[in-house]
Amino acid sequence: MDLLIFEAPILMVQASMDGILLGILFALIAYGMALQWGVMNIINIAQGDLVILGGYIAYFMYLYGIHPAWGVIVSPIIMYFVGVGIYKLVINKVVDRDLFISILATFGISILFMQLMNFAFGADVVLAVSGYGTTMLFDNSVTLPNSKIFAAVISIIFAIGLIIYMKKSKLGRAIRATAQNARAAKILGVDTEKVYAATFGINAALCGVAGALISITFTIHPYMGLPYTIRSFMIVIVAGLGNLPGVAISGMGLGVFEEFADYILGTEFRIGSVFLLLVLILVYRRFKLAKKREYLK
């Protein structure tokens, strides 16, 4: 095969760098998903749509002349309240029910958001221009947009900040206690309802940060949400719930995989390969567990 990537190996460096920077962003979204999955036992199909909504907030700031990087501060604040709102309206009614019900309900929210965003912002692919320029490496053969580096740094800052917050603060302790045993936490005086709302809000806020970063580094479009949901789901099942270093590493791995798939298979198969990889990972884990007569649950 005469693929460009094998003829010019420097492209592999390019793809890996891009992949790692992209993967850090994925890991941030996956962190939010792991958090609410672990605490509330809900898989949020609307995760990706929350990301895109966060991206549009940054994009609108850009349209009104504010530098989109400020979206990193504004977007999570707005998204926190959006998240709490979703929780109060829908999620609290499905939190104790069958998992399938919550998947379907969040799927409904996802369709709703997709379409509302389509009405509000139009069906064009947009991006917020940050004007950060590019860094050249290795004799100008590898180019890294500074906005991607900025995105990765901000994601790491937010992730570390949240880890510290979860360890030290009162709410963080309450969230961790609820994740361990909701009933016991309730008996000991934790208002689990509040904890759930806060968890979902924090998850949405993380999505908001990630979305704002995506809007300045890549592009956003109302229908692009579902791939982000699937990516974060994939990262969480590879890493396991509550394994934060694992989330970071598998996020970067996924980013690198995607960049290579993009070069080798072509851009039109990029999203398809992500979804296929998800199925393959699930099947691999299923066969591995089947040897011990266990199954994914």
Residues that bind another protein (CB under 8 A): 43, 90, 93-94, 97-101, 103-105, 107-116, 118-119, 226, 230, 233, 237, 266, 268-269, 271-273, 275-276, 278-279, 282-283, 286-287, 290, 295-297
Min. distance of Cβ 293 from another protein in angstroms? 10
The residue (of 13 and 281) whose beta carbon lies closer to another protein is 281
The residue (of 21 and 224) whose beta carbon lies closer to another protein is 224
The residue (of 172 and 227) whose beta carbon lies closer to another protein is 227
Min. distance of Cβ 125 from another protein in angstroms? 15
The residue (of 60 and 113) whose beta carbon lies closer to another protein is 113
Min. distance of Cβ 66 from another protein in angstroms? 29
Min. distance of Cβ 201 from another protein in angstroms? 19
Min. distance of Cβ 103 from another protein in angstroms? 5
The residue (of 108 and 131) whose beta carbon lies closer to another protein is 108
Min. distance of Cβ 172 from another protein in angstroms? 26
Parallel, antiparallel, or unpaired for β 142-145 and 134-137? antiparallel
**Can you tell me the distance from the alpha carbon of 99 to that of 42, in angstroms, rounded to the nearest whole number?**
7
Measured CA distances, 50 to 188, 212, 239 (Å): 33, 11, 22
The residue (of 188 and 290) whose beta carbon lies closer to another protein is 290
